[in-house]
Chain A
Amino acid sequence: MLENTLWMLFFMALTAYLGTLVIKKQPKRIWLILMIELALICRYAVIFVMYSSGTEASGTDGLIYHQIAKEIAQQLKTGTPLWRVEYKYTWYTVLVGIQYALFGVNRYVASFLNAFLAIFSGYLLTGIALNLKYSFKKSFTIGLAYVFMPSMMVWTTDTRKESLIFFIAILIWYLVLKVMQEREWPKYRQMVYIASICFLLWVSTMLRIYMLFTIGGGILVGLFFNYLKTKRRFTLVFAAVIFAACLLVTFNTVLLNMRDYHALPMDRSQGGDEDIDAEITSIIDIIQQRNIPKSVNGFLTEPHIDNVANITDIAGNYFLVTLVRIEMVFWYGCMILALFGFLDSFLKWKPYLLGTMAYIISYSLVNALISESVADTYYRYRAAIVAPVLLFADPYPFINNLKEIVLGEYGNGISAPRIKG
């Protein structure tokens, strides 16, 4: 318990320190940091409740990853080099294995780290909002909505890979915005950031194989619009490097790992000796069998309010069922508000947000088409787009713009200049 307490305190201190680093020059940032610390404490509480019947018996995927991580830690301790370590399912198990090898097997600490990464993602999301020149109040709300969302608390506390995936996705978008905005940086610094983005794209691919195409595609779309708008040569260089990195990772990681990627609905009836073409054919077959609009609707809206009680993991628990129902209503509200934001970004031709929109759309499509059409799976996989959707969930810019045109600032039917960025 003492060890766990020390780790908890360490992560809380780190959270406070990082808060001061990411959220600069904001007089009210202390409130944000305090609220985020509270979110971290809530996650600690969830962890203790979750493991109340022991760390070796609780959970589903989280438990598998923990077991494999223990084996990896054992391999590392017996002298197996990192690159020869045998792992299953996801590279996340290797990361946890390294942690176990370094600090001892302790599932609590692995969960604390996940909770910390989720909290750090909240900071980064607030940072993105502030860099997009949203007001502090709005950025604050976005950050808090993200860290206090009940499903986020659950998905980011178990020893699942979700927390790391969300963190990397948000970190990539944070870095992309920085690179696009900081034009005074020296060349080497820009290159270091771009290289970091490429590296993170590779890591995200190792964690969830199609992240490369959704995030990489989103970045390229954003850079394409940025180039159309600004004609900066640097944008072209940036896009070329990202494109090259995507190609490299596709050939060196995606195609090599596709066969063993357990989350893709491959046709395993062939006995496992099918080649990549067969795997791709299998995916295409599955997509063709789907009712695409219905699948997309399901991905965006499941579990429906009346269906929440049927989610196996929470069935019978009135409190959790109610909590998920409230979250679903919040999510529906968020999506409706985000529609205004989408329209506003589209009309104002905001490259970064258009890229983010492309990421949301492609991620939703991929998951709607290939993940199993089960409410709780959709619910878990959808969590990755919660953060970017929150960036759009503000109707005021669009409505104010429309109001300005309709009411006509200059009277006599002469409106303010048309919607323009």
Chain B
Amino acid sequence: MGKTAKIISLFLLIGLMLLSGFLAFADSSMNNTISSYDINVRINSDGSLDITDKVNFTSLGSYNNTMLLIDNQENEEIEIKNVYMLQKDGYIECERFAEGEWTANVFSGSYSVIQETGNIKLKVYGTFSKRYGSIVVQYKVKNAIKRYKDVAEYRRTHVFKNWGSRISNINISVYLPSYTDPALIRPYLHGVLVGKKNTESRRVVHFNIPDTVPGEYIEAGIIFPQDLVYKAEYKERKDHLEQILREEAEYSESDKEELLRARENAAKEAGRRAWAEKMTQRARAIAASMSILASLLGIYTIWRIYKKLHQLKKTPVPLNFNGIEHLSPAEVRLVISNSKIGARAVLGNLFCLASRGYLIPRVIEQESGRPVIVLDRSGQLNDESLSQSDLYLLDVVMRYTDEEGHFNPSYLLKKTEQKSSGKDIKESFHKWEQLVTRAYFEKNALDTGLLFYRNTGLIYGAILFLFGCIVPVSLSIWSGYSMLIVGLTLFLYTLRIRRHTDYGISKYRLWKEMKKRLLKRQIALDGLPQWMTRPFSFLGYSLALGTETELVLFEAALKNEKIDFQPCHGTESLGRCVKETLSVLDRALSSVRDIL
């Protein structure tokens, strides 16, 4: 595995841990736990039950459905009468839909009933929120009471063993059909270790269970006089009390190992959840502080680089530019235009080469009738004074000459319409730009200290940006975003560090000032360095600086050198001609930039 692959794998691993691990932590407590479960049962004299279940869920915020299991024993018939769900303006009645009737409106409050062995599954669909996670179900159970010769028995499972989450505050109230002697009412409760049962008002039996955990269940039972359900059919016409009492005694004496294990598991699970919650909180706190620290460190790095870059005090711009360092028009363009080279730099350098005798500029008319400057190769041989980029540019120019041997921007534009030649043009000029950039970078070299800061800034900026995208998703939103902003700023700042070096800034100020003075006509030819005063050289730098609209000095230079370059009629036409040439070349070079 290569180094890069290792770095990527490491980063991916950390990212995945952050995303999947902490998201899992974050959601570990999001099961459908029930905060209160009130069950109201009315036993009718025909042995049927009218039951109302009211369930308050604690965390239905991200769910659009919930489920309730209803005990359905042999020979019982269950009829769901009403289902309500709590909404902002109170309870709304849900509509029942059958399989195959699924519509987009189900989530506006509906329910379905699925028959399973031993129970029915009631699914309620709707828009739940954390504040309004409550449902009420009213249903009737026929043939629910077992009537025997001596007693009648109410026995129902209200919470199933396989209910996968914790339920708190379970209150079951069972109303007998009529008053009777409390001594004849014998309630029992199975499936939980802790729970109270009491009889009230000679008729009502209350079961209160503080909570259940997965693995526990609630089976509530009551033995009462059978004549209270005088309309119900007998299950068996024999005495049954003794058997019930025997079973009850067996249950009481059993070790209840399963229930103990369920509690133990629940305690472990609660411990795990508490640990996970604690870890999440801790991870969030750590991530938030780490993000802030990382952002501050990023800001500090920017400040350090800034201080390092601006150690020298500003030097005043000279009144005349005679002694300034020689840069090519392309380098000047690089300095003043945020590293964009483009057509101005190409044409600028070409005119400079013309001023040195390697090319001969001419004006010809395009097919549209507009004049354009073309360049011909002179007989002058290349010599050692030519830079690598100039040599390469001359070579490129010669590759794209038209039938008459001119380097014609219009011809180049035509060539860009073909994909293959367009790609060649893009690559050729891109390579030239690389050579120019390299030459400039050699002049504007970074010292060891700056190089360290540049590399640190780039790597640290990229890492901050990437973590700034991951951390807000998994852990801490706002402090995470601060890393994203700081990271991107640091990355871009250090990427363009050469603009901010003393060399870069001094050159920028110098050439900006020259541009200003040229545009305001505040400078004469003798105020310029000698390598700029030759006519086409001046034109080249004017193009690089973007001052080609001010060609008075160019005309003066032409006069000085006694060169006859009046393409059409006067300076205005010359300006238009230069503008047209630049425009055509710019279109040609720009249009190939997106070729892949």
Contacts and interface: CB of A to CB of B under 8 A. Distances in A.
B594 A301 contact: no
A64 B596 contact: no
Interface in B52-67: 62-65
A84 B448 CA distance: 76
Contacts of B99: 57
A231 interface: yes
Interface stretch (A113-121, A158-166, A206-214, A368-376): A368-376
B586 interface: yes
Interface in A44-87: 56-57, 59-61, 63-64, 67
A317 B446 CA distance: 61
Interface string B112-154: 0000000000010001000000000000000000000000000
Given A184-B417, A231-B590, A336 B63 contact: no
A306 B28 contact: yes
Interface stretch (B207-215, B300-308, B454-462, B559-567): B454-462
B448 A421 contact: no
A415 B19 contact: no
A183 B593 contact: no
Given A310-B63, A336-B12, A229 B593 contact: yes
Contact of A372 (B103, B107, B441, B442): B107
Interface string B365-379: 000000000000000
B438 interface: yes
Contacts of A236: none
A417 B334 CA distance: 12
B438 A375 contact: no
A262 B104 contact: yes
Given A231-B587, A343-B465, A415-B441, A395 B8 contact: yes
Given A400-B4, A418-B437, A305 B16 contact: no
A180 interface: yes
Nearest to B587: A231
Given A372-B64, A402-B462, A336 B15 contact: yes
Nearest to A342: B469
B441 A180 contact: no
A206 to B, nearest CB: 17
Interface string B386-424: 000000000000000000000000000000111100100
Contacts of B441: 410, 414-415, 417
Contacts of B27: 304-307
Interface in A196-255: 226, 229-232
B477 A293 contact: yes
B23 A57 contact: no
B102 A413 contact: no
Interface in A10-44: none
B466 A301 contact: no
A412 B30 CA distance: 57
Interface stretch (A104-112, A148-156, A325-333, A381-389): A325-333
A56 B417 CA distance: 57
A351 B591 CA distance: 13
Nearest to A415: B441
Contacts of A412: 445
Contacts of B474: 301
Interface string B31-75: 110000000000000000000000000000011110000000000
Interface in A393-421: 395-396, 398-400, 402-403, 405-406, 408, 410, 412-421
B419 A300 contact: no
A395 B433 CA distance: 26
B29 to A, nearest CB: 9
Interface string A319-356: 00000000011001101110110010001000110000
Q: Which of A180, A312, A332, A372 has the most CB of B within 10 A?
A: A332
B441 to A, nearest CB: 5
B451 interface: yes
A322 to B, nearest CB: 14
Contact of B62 (A293, A375, A421): A375
Contacts of B181: none
Contact of A60 (B102, B430, B496, B594): B102
B459 A406 contact: yes
Contact of B594 (A180, A263, A414, A420): A180
Given A183-B419, A418-B437, A337 B477 contact: no
B319 interface: no
A65 B16 CA distance: 38
B31 A310 contact: yes
B198 interface: no
A181 interface: yes
A302 B596 CA distance: 36
Interface string B88-124: 0000000000011011110110000000000000010
B339 interface: yes
A230 B594 contact: yes
Contacts of B416: 183
A306 B28 CA distance: 6
A415 to B, nearest CB: 7
A183 B417 contact: yes
Contacts of A305: 20, 23-24, 27
B98 to A, nearest CB: 10
Nearest to A262: B104
B26 interface: yes
Interface in B455-513: 455, 458-459, 462, 465-466, 469-470, 472-474, 477-478, 481, 495-496
A399 B7 contact: yes
B11 interface: yes
A326 B62 CA distance: 22
B289 interface: no
Contact of B433 (A133, A232, A400, A417): A417
Contact of B593 (A230, A396, A416): A230
B459 A402 contact: yes
Contacts of B465: 339, 343
Interface in B562-596: 586-587, 590-596
B434 interface: yes
Given A306-B27, A306-B28, A307-B27, A332 B462 contact: no
A137 interface: no
B384 interface: no
Given A184-B417, A230-B593, A417-B433, 5 more contacts: A293-B481, A306-B24, A329-B16, A398-B462, A410-B441
Which 6 residue pairs of A and B lie closest in terms of their CB atoms, listed nearest first? Answer: A336-B15, A304-B23, A306-B24, A332-B19, A262-B104, A231-B590
30 contacts: A56-B100, A61-B104, A131-B596, A180-B594, A181-B419, A181-B594, A183-B417, A183-B422, A183-B595, A184-B419, A230-B593, A231-B591, A232-B590, A262-B105, A304-B23, A306-B24, A333-B16, A337-B12, A339-B465, A374-B62, A399-B4, A403-B4, A405-B495, A406-B458, A410-B441, A412-B445, A413-B448, A414-B438, A418-B437, A421-B593
